Chain A
Amino acid sequence: MRYMLSLKGDPGPEAQPDETRVSALAAYVQELARAGILVAAETLQSSSTGARIRFAGGGHIVVEGPFPEPSGLVAGYILIDVRSRPEAIEWASRCPLDLALRDGESADVEVRRVLQLADAP
């Protein structure tokens, strides 16, 4: 079964990538590959280069980034193929997202199962 790990925390337009964290994440992705479960992984640019298209009232408007509440925004994703939900959670728990966190800060990795055509009855 395929799971998506969403790494949360928008870096913001001026943020410099933390070297320790970047290399720790690269090592983590490499570990997933060596375990044979990595399907895809990509990092997103800051939401300041993004846009939101908001649909409402039969029309839509384009909202330019950056977006509010950066800690809830997706900064990157990893797709893995594992045998069970607990396995996905165990792998997600090993994500080195806690590096470069200051006191009182927190960071989320969201684990969601991908709806695949083969799963549909």
Chain B
Amino acid sequence: MLVTDVETHRAIEAVWRIESARLIAGLAGVVRDIGLAEELAQDALVAALEQWPAAGIPRNPGAWLMTTAKHRGIDQLRRRTVLDRKHEELGRELEVEQEMTLAAFETATEDDIGDGLLRLIFTACHPVLSREQRVALTLRLLGGLTTDEIARAFLVPEPTVAQRIVRAKRTLSEARVPFEVPHGDELVGRLSSVLEVVYLIFNEGYSATAGDDWLRPGLCDEALRLGRILAELEPSEPEVHGLVALMEIQASRSAARVGREGEPILLLDQDRSRWDRLLIARGLAALERAEGLGGALGPYALQAAIAACHSRAATPEATDWTRMAALYDALAQLAPSPIVELNRAVAVGMAFGLAAGLHIVDALVADGSLRAYHLLPSVRGDLLAKLGRDAEAATEFRRAAELTRNTRERAFLLERADTSAAARRIGDRTD
């Protein structure tokens, strides 16, 4: 390929990234099947790859792709109609349905597309699909990522992702999931499924569950973009803004939470001058929007409010731990979970004394549900170390190191174990 061809291909790729979700959404609104919609969109992309290098990129590439995909769809339908007539297999009813789709193709306008995007998000995150399927389908259809890119981001083999997507599309089609935005009572549950998917993607990027990298920022950025798109499409839903606020604030710490050697740096030890002020401002603004919509804060907005306590403090000492403990208290009542309880223990430890925090952690240890979670011994170790109980702290850090699947984090925890063990020896000598 010539250099200019390579450049054109990159430019086409960029156009695809920008246009594909809207394109698929618009087409799915007509054909009522996201699998077929994606095929037609892909056909249009192939046509672009054939024609644009010679003809140049059209002035309105999105409209070009849509028109091309529509023509393909109409051609396919006509061919099928002719074929079906020949075989006399086509019932009158089906024929009417095809005619209607043809008409819909011909009248589909740009205006249908904004709403289509929201329908596409709700369909890709439909609860009939498994979590993995929802995540893969969302990144593929809304983010415009290739299966290979998704596979690399999640450290799984490409065929696994391809399978997930194929099965997800089949499930949606077999379950006859309507291509629509849910209403009324259904909306709440369906929206929380969407938000869950977005936050899962963010977290996979923010604290990689496996592998050598502590952070895979690409996924954080994808999730942030998805969240911001949702906030534009569903501006009256406080939890959407709550989730965006949470992600913006967490993302603001990306540069500060990883050290020179790639090791994780705990929030309170971070150099706050490395926090991204622009993202913090965006996060606080989103939180304000969530609060401004009235009603009690939901779980995402509460977590954002907690994160904001750190963002607002110029130094760790200035943190409003009492407020944070109260917010965790509210969160524990709204969405009780051992993980929330563990975080509450940290805040309570800071607000009302380490012993009070340790008390909550010990209850969690006795409860046993976080047995395999590395942050339980990690938090317990931290509290013990601060209380000067270094030998016990070292044991906890070692246990945490055994439990984590992340290489960087393991090294970090082993180092803390060594520090505690060393502190103990020094303590022994002075005693």
Contact = CB atoms under 8 A, between A and B. Distances in A.
Interface of A: 33-40, 79, 81, 83-84, 86-87, 89-91, 116-118, 120
A89 B14 contact: yes
B221 A81 contact: yes
A90 B229 contact: no
A90 B255 contact: no
B278 A90 contact: no
Contact of A34 (B114, B274, B282): B114
Given A36-B225, A37-B225, A86-B14, A117 B278 contact: no
A6 B229 CA distance: 24
B255 A118 contact: yes
A116 B252 CA distance: 11
Contacts of A37: 225, 228
A42 B217 CA distance: 26
Interface of B: 7, 10-11, 13-15, 17-18, 114, 217-218, 221, 224-229, 232-233, 254-256, 274, 276, 278, 282
B217 A90 contact: no
B334 to A, nearest CB: 27
Contact of B278 (A36, A39, A86, A118): A39
Nearest to B262: A121
Contacts of A91: 18
Contacts of A116: 255, 276
A81 B224 contact: yes
Contacts of B256: 117
Contacts of A120: 255
B283 to A, nearest CB: 12
B220 to A, nearest CB: 10
Nearest to B254: A118
Nearest to A116: B255
Which one of B17, B114, B227, B274 has the greatest number of beta carbons of chain A within 10 Å?
A: B17
A86 B7 CA distance: 8
B225 A81 contact: yes
Contacts of B218: 83
The 6 closest A-B pairs by CB, nearest first: A117-B255, A36-B225, A86-B14, A36-B228, A36-B229, A118-B255
A86 B224 contact: no
Contact of B229 (A34, A39, A81, A83): A34
A2 to B, nearest CB: 9
Contacts of A39: 278, 282
B17 A118 contact: no
A35 B188 CA distance: 24
B278 A40 contact: yes
19 contacts: A33-B228, A34-B229, A36-B228, A36-B229, A37-B225, A81-B221, A83-B17, A83-B218, A83-B221, A86-B11, A86-B13, A87-B17, A89-B11, A90-B14, A91-B18, A116-B276, A117-B255, A117-B274, A118-B254
Nearest to B149: A83
Contacts of B224: 36, 81
Contact of B15 (A34, A40, A90): A90
B10 A86 contact: yes
Contacts of B14: 84, 86-87, 89-90
A36 B226 contact: yes
B64 to A, nearest CB: 13
Nearest to B7: A86
Contacts of B274: 117
Most chain B Cβ neighbours within 10 Å, of A38, A39, A79, A116 = A39
Contacts of A38: 228
A90 B256 CA distance: 31
Which residue, B114, B228, B276, B278, has most C-beta atoms of chain A within 10 A? B228
Contacts of A35: 18, 225, 229
A84 B145 CA distance: 13
A39 B228 CA distance: 10
Contact of A79 (B13, B229, B233, B278): B278
Nearest to B15: A90
A30 to B, nearest CB: 9
Contacts of A89: 11, 14
Contacts of A34: 114, 229, 232-233
A35 to B, nearest CB: 7
A83 B219 CA distance: 11
Contacts of B17: 83-84, 87
Nearest to A39: B278
A33 to B, nearest CB: 6
B18 A36 contact: no
Given A83-B221, A117-B255, A118-B255, A90 B11 contact: yes
Contacts of A79: 278
